[in-house]
């Protein structure tokens, strides 16, 4: 189908689509066209099957190593080892699939919250049908408040205004003119004879012919473009893959080395092979994939409690390393609720407090509060704004005190300003009945309504509109209850105030009135909208969210650069950015026109200095995000509109709004904010940092345990000693004794200054120099403690290997459980954290300890794990030796803190 419908006249459109504008399509014809064009729904990317989801979970390098270890264990006859390893692999995969499945279900629930309908002509009657059943050629009726259900070529527009913020980013509604026919290509925002799917009618009424549905609509094309982008690997995935490969290589090298040493010392081939398998089991932290999955799942659960749905398990962590947040302005940083903030009347400027559609606020001159009902000038100005108005103010939720507007947002702001002074629309209309009107149109840029009884025995007309046009039609001014001549001096003052308001990025309307003894016989603009009495000005803006300002402060404190990317005007964007504190000293501003002049390389350079991008298109947003990423940034993109979706996909992490967000944006995002609150982003960033910090803590703990196991076996072989630990004991330590404390470390609360630290380098491995040094310190300390216990037991029990191995196994278990408390922080001492402040770790340690006692003392388990019962003397030795790694860990942290302070 030809896409340039805005170049065609209404007649051409009607002829091409074979439609009767008065009767619409017949039911049979509509059904036939559904068969031809399909339903009016966006195509979704094919969902992963259960098998694909499981395979994705099993692709992890560590998991692959575990599977190989399981197979090898089975081949050499260690069936129990093989079964336990494969069990942990299956548990890990199931957990990952279940958690991501929950996120998908939550998203599906969001999509079903509001199934749109459409009013159409069918079979000569007006019918309300599901929007998905619309077809090209359907005649759709539009009125204020309607969401446009498909792409339409308008053929009737009566004062029709459409808010296209979700598509273009422009928050001010666009005037539509069905009679227009364009000769050349026009950008979406200028196609005034068209109406597009997902945009909203804010004023007037109209009719249009459906010209495109589903994937052929403008948002459908965007959705298709989004699906062409492949999902990218997150930083945590890269880190875990890197860690897995490192462990795998280390495992192979150590196993080969041990096998070679043992064989050259006349060791038996099978015995050396079994010892090598033992080392492989010791080298790989089998519990790591499961613990990572569980910790991320717990993070997802906490995010839901903080009003965020995480669609991808690893996305939580990615937020923790973002260095820049690119945010749309309308509805994300602002309230998407036009608000009157300044008025001018009686030669006095007033400040209006209160934000959004909540009718709570005050009026003040400088710092002095005033009562609008006691100020004749202000009272008349507010009355004109309420009466010359077609919008409605409604309380959506009494409990939560949430208000909304039906109609034009600009008119809605006038309604709210009046309500703050006690002038309610219903009461005002009943008291001062509207008897006639001249509707607004974009040619006159004015609107006039006539009311009776506002002045006793008189008819009064209120006219509002663009200040320059209104002022040119005024000959008088209302001052302190009297009508005075509009002198050049006063006219100049009004013009100056208007310029000052506009300079603050306010949208300004002027208000006037005129008196009549009776309703004029001929009501037309030339006779009515002249010789007007000037009342005053109202300046309004879509205000910044209060919580967004605080969130931006926290972001900056955390070393994260906030960037505004909007389709709105430059002055408006800058005003909001300054109000939020988003623009730092010397920060740059760039428009879409400026962007078009820059090469990708030049944009990369400029992007580091720019904090505000205005009048940009969806393609510009993608270029900006990619430029930032090429500069090494981890970029998050927040937004709610269709126009945000491609940039959401290209960013490292996309964050969509759950209430105002379009389905396209929600389906593309990694995280969905259920409360549309920008401040939730800060909570998500903090949560991501906590999760990564906790992952490092349990990697610190698990690897120190595993490397200690390697050292114990390796050194015993070098010293020609018996192996202190057998494979089943190593497996028990790795999967049971270690996993519970590791999981508890994953629930650790964030350290107090976590949001005052700079974002970590996304390329820095989990095992950086600091962590490796700490792991080696603890591993050596554990090795010393266990080998002392093993040798002591051999000497005191006449070389009883079974007893000595039980002693080594028990000592290592106790050492690891006590050492877990030191691993709660890489920097802070245990006493400062509080020994008992992590209750999960206490319960986990008690559980692991109880299970260890079962393995040692229960007769039916002793043959399986090759253990014997220990006496009180042995326990005294074990507890004494367990203090060695704890002291070593605390001393290492003290040295590290001093080194950090000197740096």
The DSSP line for 562-575 is EEEE-SS-HHHHHH
E-strand spans in 164-199? Answer: 174-175, 194-195
| All residues at 6 or more sequence positions from 612 whose CB lies less than 8 Å from its CB, including other chains | 563, 564, 566, 570, 573, 574, 577, 582, 583, 587, 588, 589, 590
What is the rounded CA–CA span in Å between residue 405 and residue 200?
13
C-beta of residue 329 within 8 angstroms of C-beta of residue 505: no
List the catalytic residue out of 328, 542, 663, 676. Answer: 328
Token couple for 188? 């979406």
**DSSP-based three-state secondary structure for 347:** coil
Q: Find the distance separating the first CA and the last CA of the chain, reported in whole Å.
A: 66
| All residues at 6 or more sequence positions from 515 whose CB lies less than 8 Å from its CB, including other chains | 455, 458, 459, 460
571: left (phi over 0), alpha (psi -120 to 50) or beta: alpha
Catalytic residue at 390? no
**DSSP collapsed to 3 states, 648-698:** HHHCCEEEEECCCCCHHHHHHCCEEECCCCCHHHHHHHHHHHHHHHHHHHH
Q: Strand 610-614's sheet: what is its strand order? A: 308-310, 671-673, 653-657, 635-639, 324-327, 561-565, 610-614, 588-591
Pairing of strands 561-565, 482-485: unpaired
What is the rounded CA–CA span in Å between residue 234 and residue 696?
16
Distance set, CA 215 to CA 111, 151, 246, 355, 530 (Å) = 17, 11, 46, 38, 50
The DSSP line for 607-638 is HTTEEEEES--HHHHHHHHHHHHHTT--EEEE
**DSSP collapsed to 3 states, 83-148:** HHHHHHHHHHHHHHHHHHHHHHHHHHHHHCCCCCEEEEEECCEEEEEEHHHCCCCCEEEEECCCEC
> If we measure between CA atoms, which residue out of 723, 741, 728 comes closest to residue 867?
728
What is the rounded CA–CA span in Å between residue 166 and residue 660?
9
Q: Which string of b and e fits 63-96 if b means at least 16 CB within 10 Å?
A: bebbeebbebbbebebeebbebbbebbeebbebb
What is the rounded CA–CA span in Å between residue 511 and residue 533?
9
What is the rounded CA–CA span in Å between residue 685 and residue 868?
50
The residue count for the chain: 903
Furthest-apart CA atoms within the chain: distance in Å: 122
Q: Which residues are catalytic?
A: 328
């Amino acid at each position: 189908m030809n896409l340039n419908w805005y170049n065609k006249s209404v007649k051409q459109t009607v002829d091409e689509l074979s439609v009767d504008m008065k009767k619409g399509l017949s039911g049979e014809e509509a059904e036939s066209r559904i068969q031809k064009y399909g339903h009016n729904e966006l195509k979704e990317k094919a969902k992963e099957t259960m098998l694909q989801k499981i395979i994705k979970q099993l692709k992890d390098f560590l998991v692959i190593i575990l599977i190989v270890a399981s197979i090898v264990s089975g081949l050499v006859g260690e069936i129990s080892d093989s079964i336990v390893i494969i069990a942990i692999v299956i548990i890990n995969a199931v957990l990952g699939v279940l958690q991501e499945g929950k996120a998908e279900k939550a998203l599906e629930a969001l999509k079903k919250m509001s199934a749109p309908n459409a009013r159409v002509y069918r079979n000569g009657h007006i019918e309300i049908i599901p929007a998905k059943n619309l077809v090209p050629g359907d005649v759709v009726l539009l009125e204020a408040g309607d969401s446009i259900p498909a792409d339409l070529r308008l053929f009737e527009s009566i004062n029709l205004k459409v808010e296209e913020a979700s598509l273009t980013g422009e928050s001010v509604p666009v005037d539509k003119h069905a009679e227009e026919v364009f000769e050349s290509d026009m950008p979406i925002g200028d196609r005034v004879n068209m109406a597009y799917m997902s945009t909203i009618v804010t004023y007037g009424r109209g009719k249009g012919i459906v010209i495109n549905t589903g994937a052929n609509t403008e948002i459908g094309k965007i959705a298709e473009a989004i699906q062409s982008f492949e999902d990218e690997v997150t930083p945590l995935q890269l880190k875990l893959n890197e860690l897995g490969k490192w462990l795998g290589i280390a495992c192979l090298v150590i196993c080969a080395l041990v096998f070679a040493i043992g064989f050259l010392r006349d060791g038996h081939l099978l015995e050396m092979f079994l010892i090598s398998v033992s080392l492989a089991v010791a080298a790989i932290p089998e519990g790591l994939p499961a613990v990572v999955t569980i910790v991320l799942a717990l993070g997802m659960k906490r995010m839901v409690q903080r009003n965020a749905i995480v669609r991808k398990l690893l996305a939580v962590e990615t937020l923790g390393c973002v260095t820049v947040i690119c945010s749309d302005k309308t509805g994300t940083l602002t309230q998407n609720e036009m608000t009157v903030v300044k008025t001018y009347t009686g030669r006095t400027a007033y400040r209006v407090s209160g934000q959004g559609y909540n009718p709570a606020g005050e009026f003040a001159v400088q710092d002095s509060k005033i009562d609008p009902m006691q100020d004749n000038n202000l009272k008349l100005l507010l009355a004109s704004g309420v009466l010359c108005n077609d919008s409605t103010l409604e309380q959506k939720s009494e409990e939560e005190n949430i208000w909304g507007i039906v109609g034009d947002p600009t008119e809605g702001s006038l309604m709210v300003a009046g309500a703050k002074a006690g002038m309610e629309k219903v009461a005002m209309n009943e008291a001062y009945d509207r008897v006639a009107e001249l509707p607004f149109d974009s040619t006159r840029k004015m609107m006039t309504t006539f009311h009776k009884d506002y002045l006793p025995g008189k008819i009064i007309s209120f006219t509002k509109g663009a200040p320059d046009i209104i002022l040119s039609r005024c000959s008088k001014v209302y001052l302190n209850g009297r009508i005075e001549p509009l002198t050049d001096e006063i006219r100049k003052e009004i013009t100056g105030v208007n310029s000052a308001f506009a300079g603050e990025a306010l949208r300004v309307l002027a208000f006037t009135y005129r008196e009549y003894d009776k309703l004029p016989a001929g009501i037309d603009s030339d006779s009515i909208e002249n010789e007007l009495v000037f009342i005053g000005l109202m300046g309004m803006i879509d205000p910044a969210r209060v919580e967004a300002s605080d969130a931006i402060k926290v972001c900056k404190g955390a070393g994260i650069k906030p960037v505004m990317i909007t389709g709105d005007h430059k002055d408006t964007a800058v005003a909001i950015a300054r109000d939020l504190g988003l623009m730092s000293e010397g920060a740059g501003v760039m428009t879409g026109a400026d962007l078009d002049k820059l090469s990708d390389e030049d944009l990369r350079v400029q992007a580091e200095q720019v904090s505000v991008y205005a009048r940009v298109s969806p393609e510009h947003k993608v270029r900006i995000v990619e430029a930032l990423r090429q500069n090494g940034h981890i970029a998050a993109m927040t937004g709610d509109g269709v126009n945000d979706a491609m940039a959401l996909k290209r960013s490292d992490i996309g964050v969509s709004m759950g209430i105002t967000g379009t389905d396209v944006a929600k389906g593309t995002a990694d995280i969905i904010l259920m409360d549309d609150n920008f401040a939730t982003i800060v909570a998500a960033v903090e949560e991501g940092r906590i999760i990564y910090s906790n992952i490092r803590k349990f990697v610190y703990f698990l690897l120190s345990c595993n490397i200690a196991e390697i050292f114990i076996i390796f050194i015993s072989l070098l010293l020609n000693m018996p192996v202190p630990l057998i494979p089943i004991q190593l497996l028990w330590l790795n999967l049971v004794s270690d996993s519970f404390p590791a999981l508890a470390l994953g629930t650790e609360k964030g350290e107090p200054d976590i949001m005052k630290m700079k974002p970590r380098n996304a390329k820095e491995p989990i095992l950086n120099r600091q962590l490796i040094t700490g792991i080696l310190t603890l591993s050596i300390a554990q090795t010393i403690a266990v080998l002392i216990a093993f040798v002591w037991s051999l000497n005191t029990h006449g070389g009883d290997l079974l007893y000595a191995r039980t002693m080594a196994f028990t000592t290592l278990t106790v050492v690891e459980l006590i050492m877990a408390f030191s691993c709660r922080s890489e920097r802070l001492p245990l006493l400062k954290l509080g020994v008992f402040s992590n209750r999960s770790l206490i319960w986990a340690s008690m559980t692991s300890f109880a299970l260890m006692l079962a393995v040692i003392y229960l007769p039916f388990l002793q043959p399986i794990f090759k253990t014997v019962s220990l006496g009180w003397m042995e326990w005294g030795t074990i507890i004494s030796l367990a203090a060695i790694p704890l002291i070593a860990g605390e001393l290492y942290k003290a040295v590290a803190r001093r080194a950090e302070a000197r740096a």
